[in-house]
Amino acid sequence: MKEQLSNIQQKALDEIKKAVDIKTVDDLKVRLLGKKGELTAILKQMGQLSAEERPVMGQLANQVRECIENDIARKKEQLKALETEIKLKKETVDVTLPGRKFEQGRRHPLNIVLDDLKEIFKGMGYSVVDGPEVEETKYVFDMLNTDEGHPARDPQDTFYITDKILLRTQTSSVQIRTMLKTKPPIAIISPGRVYRSDAVDATHSPIFHQCEGLVIDKGITFGDLKGTLEMFAKRLYGSDVKVRFRPHHFPYTEPSAEMDLQCFKCGGKGCSLCKGEGWIEMLGSGVVHPQVLINCDIDPEEYSGFAFGIGLERIAMMRYEIDDMRLLYENDLRFLKQF
Ligand code: DAH
């Protein structure tokens, strides 16, 4: 029995030594010292021993158990320390690695211009409204006093989807939608995309952006139009800019006018930016035609108003002296990073 005990001890110490992880050690502990373990099996045979031998063997068995237990505990400590060391090594942060750079985006020049426009008009009490790009001809033309046969409706210049549905050629359609929905007083702007069947070149694109404006109230005159749009130009370009109004024709306004800005590059003398004119065309405008009010069920005897349409590309190109419209759409970072 003495020999059996020393064999068990030797074997146990060997196996513990070879163990490479904590689970193996735990399993060993059960196998060696557990209820069905080898050592217990031997202790069960103690009954067969004589009265003198029993305490001697008992003591020996306890020594073996203690020795194995201690060895297991020591081994576990050792393995735990090793695991921690490995984990720490794996988790080391190399502080000498270069940092990851976050690319910061910028506003597109068209959005800068649009944000400025919105700020200016909101400051004057206007709200910003939206309208559909796929539109009905009645809103884009008919109700804007633009009858069948008018050159603006020419299929050569317009993307028709059906006879009565098209991609809007102007944001002026939102005037009608607004007047049908809201009773005066009205003061809105409506920026958005418009479509015309134009070939792409330095000053044309089949998709571009406008911002419509509409004011309807009692006693609105051409004077309000002039004052408002001049104020707008000064806010946008600085208080010393000069504007002029030139007579024009639009079917939905009477009288109609285009507003020009004195060229801020040459001060009106004539240069490449203003093509020698001294003035740069900025927007179309006019006093809302009585027929348009009637079409929207607004009494022209009671109410009057003015409207305007601004080309956003034109404003951006003037402001940043961009000579080719295509640059605005090509998403070339070398261009966009400049704003
Ligand atoms: N819709 C015109 C265009 O596309 C711009 C315009 C002119 C809008 C006069 C208006 C206006 O509201 O009154 O060129």
Chain segment 219-273, per-residue pLDDT in tens = 999 999 999 999 999 999 999 999 999 999 999 999 999 999 998 888 899 988 8
* Atom 10, ligand 1: residue with shortest CA distance: 308
**pTM of the complete model:** 0.72
Closest ligand 1 atom, residue 169 Cα: 4
Query: For position 336, what pLDDT does the model report?
Result: 94
Query: For position 50, what pLDDT does the model report?
Result: 84
Query: For position 12, what pLDDT does the model report?
Result: 85
Q: What percent of the chain has pLDDT over 70?
A: 100
Chain segment 141-198, per-residue pLDDT in tens = 999 999 999 999 998 999 999 999 999 999 999 999 999 999 999 999 999 999 999 9
Query: For position 293, what pLDDT does the model report?
Result: 98
On the question of pLDDT at 327 being above 90, the answer is: yes
On the question of pLDDT at 25 being above 90, the answer is: no
Probe target for ligand 1 pocket from 229, 250, 312, with the most ligand atoms within 8 Å of CB: 250
Residues with CB under 6 Å of ligand 1 are 170, 172, 212, 250, 253, 284-286, 307-309
Average pLDDT for the chain: 93
On the question of pLDDT at 43 being above 90, the answer is: no
Q: Which of 255, 238, 213, 246 is nearest to 125 (CA)?
A: 213
Distances from the Cα of 262 to the Cαs of 116, 199, 267, in angstroms? 20, 29, 7
Chain segment 60-104, per-residue pLDDT in tens = 888 888 899 899 999 999 999 998 999 998 888 888 989 888 888
Query: For position 112, what pLDDT does the model report?
Result: 97
Ligand 1 center from residue 308 Cα (angstroms): 5
129: pLDDT confidence band, cut at 50, 70 and 90? very high
Rg (CA), the chain: 44
Amino acid at 319: R
Ligand 1 center from residue 126 Cα (angstroms): 18
Query: For position 208, what pLDDT does the model report?
Result: 97
Which H or E run includes 288?
A: strand 279-288
Query: For position 188, what pLDDT does the model report?
Result: 98
Query: For position 203, what pLDDT does the model report?
Result: 87
DSSP tag of 309? E
| Contact (Cβ atoms closer than 8 angstroms) between residue 283 and residue 229 | yes
Query: For position 51, what pLDDT does the model report?
Result: 83
* Atom 7, ligand 1: residue with shortest CA distance: 284
Chain segment 136-150, per-residue pLDDT in tens = 999 999 999 999 999
Amino acid at 154: D
* Atom 8, ligand 1: residue with shortest CA distance: 309
Ligand 1 center from residue 203 Cα (angstroms): 18
Query: For position 331, what pLDDT does the model report?
Result: 92
Probe target for ligand 1 pocket from 121, 158, 172, with the most ligand atoms within 8 Å of CB: 172
Ligand 1 center from residue 252 Cα (angstroms): 8
Closest ligand 1 atom, residue 309 Cα: 8
Ligand 1 center from residue 285 Cα (angstroms): 6
* Atom 12, ligand 1: residue with shortest CA distance: 308
On the question of pLDDT at 111 being above 90, the answer is: yes
- State the average pLDDT over residues 112-127: 97
Would you say the C-alpha torsion 155, 160, 163, 166 has a positive or negative sign?
A: negative
On the question of pLDDT at 9 being above 90, the answer is: no
216: pLDDT confidence band, cut at 50, 70 and 90? very high
* Atom 4, ligand 1: residue with shortest CA distance: 170
Q: Is 219 left (phi over 0), alpha (psi -120 to 50) or beta?
A: left
Q: Which of 215, 245, 218, 216 is nearest to 230 (CA)?
A: 245
* Atom 2, ligand 1: residue with shortest CA distance: 309
